Structure 1
Amino acid sequence: MKLTNKIPALIAIPLVVCFIVLCIVNYSSSKTDSLSFTDKAKENGLNATMLYVDSYFNSRINFIEQFSPILANSISEDNQDENIFKILKNYLGISNFSALFIGMADSGKFYYISSNNEPYIVKDQDARSRGWYKDAISANRALLGKEVYPDERLKEKVMTISAPIIKNGKIIGVIGGDMAFKDLKNQILTLHFSKTNTIFAYDDKLEFVMHPNEEFELKQDDVIKMIENNLKDGISVRYTFKGDEKTAVCINSNTTGWKFCSTNLTSDIDDTLNSLLKQNITLFFASLVIILLCLFFLIKFSLRPLEIIQKGLREVFSLINHERKTASKIELNSKDEFGDMAKAINENIERTINSLTQDTNAVEQSVQTAAAIESGDLKARITLNPANPQLIELKNVLNKMLDTLEEKVGANTNSIEKIFDEYSQNDFRNEIKNAKGRVELATN
């Protein structure tokens, strides 16, 4: 990669890293702000839900409170059963209760009526032993039961409101009503602001009393304990339920004593965050392209002397590699570092040419010396000095080796070979003249 391309690329790397960091910080900040906004929206939604819940229960409590004195004035000892049946039947339709019932204090009779059924007396049950009866007597006022429970008669989950029936200052019985919990649940579940937003509620026993999935109702779950623990310092909480990451806002209901939570998947805000992320990425890449183009042209203009220096270096390397016999000097009048580089290269071009010439001459003489040795002349020596220190060392080693050969063998191997040929023919008349080498002396 050319330097004019590499420098913008190297600059782009920290820019990309900085952008990624900024994107992460911005995404995290935007997510926090979005979650805070949705928490506020859920809180407002829960406040509206609490108004509906309070209105729902208070209207029924008021009905029981107002129905109690009516019963006190209407119940007589004459034809008591028929009288109570008639009253229950007349008031059930306007009560918004799924069932109405009366327990008598003197006899413990349990009068009961539900939707689409005629009133009757519940056999083998003493109303005075029932929880709703005892709670009303104990509180001495209209009272909303704290528990949601499945009713066998209505075949659905209900809550009970009961109140004492007081006549002439004496409690003569208790009036109660069962509310089908499904109606309240269906109304509350329609109050949502996002596709995954829903509402659930749990009681002081940490059991779901209201949940979109009926399988969880009237059961404990670890997620409730986790929510309850994390809500000690606020009203919002992040949690995981069935593998889904969720956020919830919870508010206590003064009427029921339950805690209502509005929850939704944190992924609800992903579309908004992804759109923001795409905008940031688009803006970044557009800015990056503009910056890199400007850098490319500025750097290319600033590094133009490099092309001239590069051309001069190629010629020098070609000279060193024996691809050419000479090299041109670099013509560059720049006053910066590039000019200093060109001057230094020019000085070394001349020095390199001289050194190569000296080495070439020494090598040529070495070749001639080798040829002389090959012809049998062991007196031949390399006399020219090369510029390369390694070649100088090689020259000295070769000359020393030749000195050793001449000392141990002789001055000329041809004369030794000739004497050996005569000896092989049993002609011992001649000897090696001027013998100095050990082989020559031993031969003689």
Structure 2
Amino acid sequence: MTFFSNLKIGTKIVGIVSFFLLAGILALSIIISKQVRDEITTDINKILEANTLRYANYVQANLDGTVSSLLTTHEIIEHSIDFSESDADKKIGRILQDVLNNSKWSNFAYVYFTAPLQANNPLYKTKSGKTIISYYTENKTNATLMQADDAIADFPALKYTLDSKKARIGKPLQMHVNGKSFLGVNVTTPLFDSQGNMVAVLGNIVDLKMMSDFLLNPQFDIYERNVRSVLTQDGIIAVHPKSDIIGRNLAELNPDPTAQKLLGVVAGKGEGLYDYVNYGSNDKSLAYIKTFEIGTQELNTTWAMAVTAPENVVYAPLASVQIIIALTSLIVILVIIAAILFFVKSALTNRLNIILRTLQSFFRYLNYESKEVHTIKIRAQDELGAMGQIINDNISRTQKSLLQDEEAIAQSAQTAKEIESGNLKARIIKNPANPQLVELKNVLNTMLDVLEHKIGGDTNEIARVFDS
């Protein structure tokens, strides 16, 4: 406070105005930034929602198509094939070939039999003696019969269907069959004979690489470093740019609280925009989640499509706006402060200094330190102009009064010399401006009147009479 009180008035004014100006512009910048951020967030939500829904609908349609194809194939096999016939294997083979040749995302189909077939084809037998007819295709035009592999019998979805006699959509897995490796999801359904006995399990593998190739195509990128991924309801990763984490649980890979919250949304079949920290890159991102059901209600399978975008990318326009606001604010503040400085200096500080110097000069004049005093040149009719005019009037009046007093004192001194020379008729004629000097003048003149009345008007004549 002492520091502030010691500052000059101009400095105080500029400081206070600059402070409130800076505070006002800062508050305005914060409000504008918030509004811009809200608008960007709204736009991001719409963009991510539209993209996520598009991908989710695409994935759901193709997975539903695969499930529908499997269930249709199931009906065809059950109603057109007698498993006891000797050529049942060939009929099933042709059906599996047609399924693969006409399926967009399937590359492997099979029928696992609970009992041996009449056909004695070594390609149907695994090393452990299980009977499996399996077909594989790489080009979607020529599905070929494969050697049966015990690895097929170890598929979790197949085991579930064998135990429960219910259809199943398995979890994303890295599968290895007869030297062929592929990422896939096993869809299974039981096959029953005419007596209602389960005699086989029909299986179809959804090729996740085909799904990934479409979803992760760079031409679909809407933001730099955006991530598109597909999750099962329990958090198993089906599609992700990092292929080495396919089939793993996101909860184990990403311990960040935002990931746990995201998985809760997926488990609860939710939808919306959420904060998220990406696995691997640790980018603080915005993620839109859309869950969707696959197949029939009996399958009770829900997956989720997630599209994320880094905050520093999506909010880059906001950073540009903030930089522009900051630079503009700085320029405006500097211009306004310069204008205030110029105005304060010309309209206040310089004029106050003139008043100060005039008063100092006047006080030196009053204290007989100087015989000169200057008045203020009035340039404006504002408060300072009125103050200057009052000072000028008082300087003039004081100068006139002092001059009048000087003349009265000089005349009093002349009167005193005449009295000293013997002339008691001499009087002080000049009237001073000072009331006290006026009173003194009257007292002296009255005293001279009394002396003249009692002893005469010429002391020299009185002295001569006494001397004679």
**Structure 1 partner of 2:222:** 193
Once the two structures are superposed, residues 150-207 of structure 1 have per-residue CA deviations (whole angstroms, 9 ceiling, x without a partner) of: 1012312100112233443534322111111111122223444222322223334434
**Structure 2 partner of 1:258:** 303
Which residue of the other structure, out of 83, 90, 101, is the alignment partner of 1:93? 101
8 Å CA contact 2:229–2:237 kept in 1: the answer is yes
8 Å CA contact 2:167–2:189 kept in 1: the answer is yes
Which residue of the other structure, out of 81, 104, 112, is the alignment partner of 2:134? 112
Which residue of the other structure, out of 54, 60, 64, is the alignment partner of 2:66? 60
8 Å CA contact 1:35–1:266 kept in 2: the answer is no
Once the two structures are superposed, residues 48-81 of structure 1 have per-residue CA deviations (whole angstroms, 9 ceiling, x without a partner) of: 2221111111111121122223333245521455
8 Å CA contact 2:351–2:384 kept in 1: the answer is no
Once the two structures are superposed, residues 109-168 of structure 1 have per-residue CA deviations (whole angstroms, 9 ceiling, x without a partner) of: 1222222584245255795x75433544677665432x1111012312100112233443
Paired residues for 1:327-342 under 5 Å: 328-331=373-376, 336=383
8 Å CA contact 2:232–2:303 kept in 1: the answer is yes
Q: In the aligned structure 2, how far is the partner of 1:341 from the partner of 1:166?
A: 114
Letter in 1 for 2:351: P
**Structure 1 partner of 2:286:** 247
8 Å CA contact 2:112–2:200 kept in 1: the answer is yes
Q: In the aligned structure 2, how far is the partner of 1:151 from the partner of 1:335?
A: 93
**Structure 1 partner of 2:169:** 144
Letter in 2 for 1:182: K
Which residue of the other structure, out of 147, 157, 168, is the alignment partner of 2:183? 157
Going from structure 1 to structure 2, the CA distance change for 1:301 and 1:204 (only over 3 Å counts) comes to same
Letter in 2 for 1:28: K
Once the two structures are superposed, residues 376-422 of structure 1 have per-residue CA deviations (whole angstroms, 9 ceiling, x without a partner) of: xxxxxxxxxxxxxxxxxxxxxxxxxxxxxxxxxxxxxxxxxxxxxxx
Percent identity (aligned): 15
* 3-state SS of paired residue (1:152): strand
Once the two structures are TM-superposed, the CA of residue 254 in structure 1 deviates from its matched residue by 1.4
Once the two structures are TM-superposed, the CA of residue 264 in structure 1 deviates from its matched residue by 0.7
Aligned residues: CA RMSD: 4.1
8 Å CA contact 1:42–1:249 kept in 2: the answer is yes
Once the two structures are TM-superposed, the CA of residue 342 in structure 1 deviates from its matched residue by 8.6
Q: In the aligned structure 2, how far is the partner of 1:269 from the partner of 1:305?
A: 55
* 2:112 maps to 1:103: yes
Q: In the aligned structure 2, how far is the partner of 1:335 from the partner of 1:105?
A: 109
* 3-state SS of paired residue (1:268): helix
Which residue of the other structure, out of 11, 16, 20, is the alignment partner of 2:17? 11
8 Å CA contact 1:162–1:177 kept in 2: the answer is yes
Once the two structures are superposed, residues 263-287 of structure 1 have per-residue CA deviations (whole angstroms, 9 ceiling, x without a partner) of: 1111123332134335544654665
**Structure 1 partner of 2:85:** 77
Going from structure 1 to structure 2, the CA distance change for 1:54 and 1:263 (only over 3 Å counts) comes to same
Letter in 2 for 1:168: S
8 Å CA contact 1:201–1:258 kept in 2: the answer is yes
Q: In the aligned structure 1, how far is the partner of 2:56 from the partner of 2:209?
A: 17
* 2:234 maps to 1:225: no
8 Å CA contact 2:169–2:188 kept in 1: the answer is yes
* 3-state SS of paired residue (2:235): coil
**Structure 2 partner of 1:133:** 158
Q: In the aligned structure 1, how far is the partner of 2:149 from the partner of 2:340?
A: 95
* 3-state SS of paired residue (2:60): helix
Letter in 2 for 1:132: A
8 Å CA contact 2:151–2:176 kept in 1: the answer is no
Q: Which residues of structure 1 form unaligned runs of 5+?
A: 351-444
* 3-state SS of paired residue (1:173): strand
Once the two structures are superposed, residues 307-331 of structure 1 have per-residue CA deviations (whole angstroms, 9 ceiling, x without a partner) of: 4224436758999xxxx96552443
Once the two structures are TM-superposed, the CA of residue 90 in structure 1 deviates from its matched residue by 4.9
**Structure 1 partner of 2:272:** 235
Q: In the aligned structure 2, how far is the partner of 1:85 from the partner of 1:2?
A: 100
Going from structure 1 to structure 2, the CA distance change for 1:60 and 1:339 (only over 3 Å counts) comes to same
**Structure 1 partner of 2:426:** none
Q: In the aligned structure 1, how far is the partner of 2:322 from the partner of 2:285?
A: 22
**Structure 1 partner of 2:465:** none
* 3-state SS of paired residue (1:102): strand
8 Å CA contact 1:249–1:262 kept in 2: the answer is yes
Q: In the aligned structure 1, how far is the partner of 2:210 from the partner of 2:162?
A: 28
Q: In the aligned structure 2, how far is the partner of 1:244 from the partner of 1:327?
A: 79
Going from structure 1 to structure 2, the CA distance change for 1:198 and 1:173 (only over 3 Å counts) comes to same
* 2:208 maps to 1:181: yes
Going from structure 1 to structure 2, the CA distance change for 1:130 and 1:282 (only over 3 Å counts) comes to closer
Once the two structures are TM-superposed, the CA of residue 32 in structure 1 deviates from its matched residue by 2.8
8 Å CA contact 1:98–1:180 kept in 2: the answer is yes
8 Å CA contact 1:65–1:142 kept in 2: the answer is no
* 2:203 maps to 1:203: no
**Structure 2 partner of 1:383:** none
Once the two structures are TM-superposed, the CA of residue 36 in structure 1 deviates from its matched residue by 2.9
Q: In the aligned structure 2, how far is the partner of 1:290 from the partner of 1:270?
A: 30
Going from structure 1 to structure 2, the CA distance change for 1:299 and 1:162 (only over 3 Å counts) comes to same
Report the number of matched residues.
346
Going from structure 1 to structure 2, the CA distance change for 1:135 and 1:252 (only over 3 Å counts) comes to same
